[in-house]
Amino acid sequence: MSSSTIPVTVLTGYLGAGKTTLLNRILSENHGRKYAVIVNEFGEIGIDNDLIVDADEEVFEMNNGCICCTVRGDLIRIIEGLMKRKDGFDAIIIETTGLADPAPVAQTFFMDDDVRARASLDAIVTVVDARHVLARLEDSHEAEEQIAFADVILLNKTDLVTAQELDVVRQRVRTINGQARLHETQNCVVPLEEVLERGAFDLDRILEIEPDFLSEDDHEHDDSISSVSLSSATAIRPELFMPWLRNLTAVQGQDILRLKGVLSFPDEDQRYVVQGVHMLLDGNHQRDWKPDEVRTSRMVFIGRNLDPVALRAGFEACAVPANR
């Protein structure tokens, strides 16, 4: 198969956050692109030029012994069907229901070989209601997971909160997910190139972490989601790193919602990128390191019950100078 897979953007967000507003903006803007849009409710969307497909959110457990492996059976079917009309669109947008856990959607793009051959997850975009999110986080696991899974967060309805309230919300969102690109918006007004077709999870900038948001004692209670970011100036040895990461995800995969990394291996001119959802991992050589690029290896984990000290120790143990 060629490497020209169709980019897929997943739109999530709790009920009322403004997901449909964003979708309508995407579809009505004159961008010259044609989208296939997979929606869950027959909403007030639909522009003649675009292809709207109804989904059922059928979450299937994989019968493969992996306890957290669930996929969206309907997406597998729909993406396969869409590909029969290959030239009809440039990208796919998937809207999830407000109560959806993003894991099965993301895992579909790791688990199903036929989907992987045709489509690739470009970004998970989460719309967050600045006014109500703190209350939602108190009573909804899904609201928290939607933020945790995001590559791009639209902190929306900022006009409905005070500057101090916004600070609190921003801090809370950043505690859950320190690595997503965050845009503060009203009516989801954001340049669409910040949301769509970002390319390969946008790893380059995603991993430029803002350290302030990653303090490890921000936990409000044990069950809340947090991010841990790690970096190493010393090259990572793959023969140590791979078994460490595989074992880590096998043991703690249920708690690890997402992980991402860009790694420098000794004597290799290419960057190695890795990403994961729960117990599923996917790694690849991505591109050459640029001549002026600092070869720093970085990883981000987002999940529950993460032990930053242990993660750091494990990662650093893989960064051993090769001449020892």
Partner 1 sequence: MIDAMRETLVQSHGRRAEFGAEPTAILWLGDDAWLTLGDGSVRHMTDAGEVAAHPVHSGAILAACRHPDGRSIVTGGDDGRICRVTADGDFLELGRFDRRWVEHLVASPASGLIVAGVGREAVVWTPGATGATGPSHRYAIGSTIGGLALDGKGKRLAVAHYGGVSLVYAATAGSGRVALDWIGSHLACTMSADGRYVVTALQETGLHGWRLPDLRDMRMSGYVAKTRSFSWDRRGKWLATSGDACAVLWSFDGKSGPMDKPPLLLAERRGAIVTRVAFHPRSDLLAIGYDDGVVVLTQAGDDRPLLVDEGGAAITALSWNDAGTRLGWGDEGGRIGILDMAARA
Say whether residue 164 binds partner 1 (CB under 8 A).
Answer: no
Q: In the complex with partner 1, which residue's Cβ is closer, 61 or 138? A: 61
Say whether residue 73 binds partner 1 (CB under 8 A).
Answer: yes
Say whether residue 62 binds partner 1 (CB under 8 A).
Answer: yes
Closest contact distance (angstroms) between CB of 2 and partner 1 is: 10
What is the CB neighbour count within 10 angstroms for residue 313?
11
Say whether residue 42 binds partner 1 (CB under 8 A).
Answer: yes
CA distance 262 to 269: 13
Hey, is 71 helix, strand or coil? strand
Q: In the complex with partner 1, which residue's Cβ is closer, 53 or 166? A: 53
Binding mask of the shown chain, residues 91 to 130, with x at each position contacting partner 1 by CB under 8 A = ---------------------xxx----------------
CA distance 172 to 213: 9
CA distance 135 to 303: 20
Torsion angle in degrees (nearest 10) through CA of 208, 211, 216, 221: -80
Instruction: Kindly state the DSSP code that residue 19 receives in the 8-state scheme.
Output: H
Say whether residue 320 binds partner 1 (CB under 8 A).
Answer: no
Which has the closest alpha carbon to 257: 123, 122, 103, 138?
103
Q: In the complex with partner 1, which residue's Cβ is closer, 75 or 148? A: 75
Q: In the complex with partner 1, which residue's Cβ is closer, 34 or 77? A: 77
Binder of partner 1 out of 3, 30, 63, 323 (CB under 8 A): 63
Q: In the complex with partner 1, which residue's Cβ is closer, 72 or 295? A: 72
DSSP-derived secondary structure for 96-149: PPTT--SHHHHHHHHH-HHHHHHEEEEEEEEEEETTTHHHHHHH-HHHHHHHHT
Q: Which stretch binds partner 1 (CB under 8 A): 11-19, 82-90, 170-178, 256-264?
A: 82-90
Which has the closest alpha carbon to 260: 105, 68, 110?
110
Judge contact between 265 and 242, C-beta under 8 A: no
Binder of partner 1 out of 28, 43, 49, 56 (CB under 8 A): 56
Say whether residue 64 binds partner 1 (CB under 8 A).
Answer: yes
Say whether residue 45 binds partner 1 (CB under 8 A).
Answer: no
Say whether residue 25 binds partner 1 (CB under 8 A).
Answer: no
> Where does this chain bind partner 1 (CB under 8 A)?
42, 51-54, 56, 58, 60-64, 71, 73-74, 76-78, 81, 84-86, 112-114
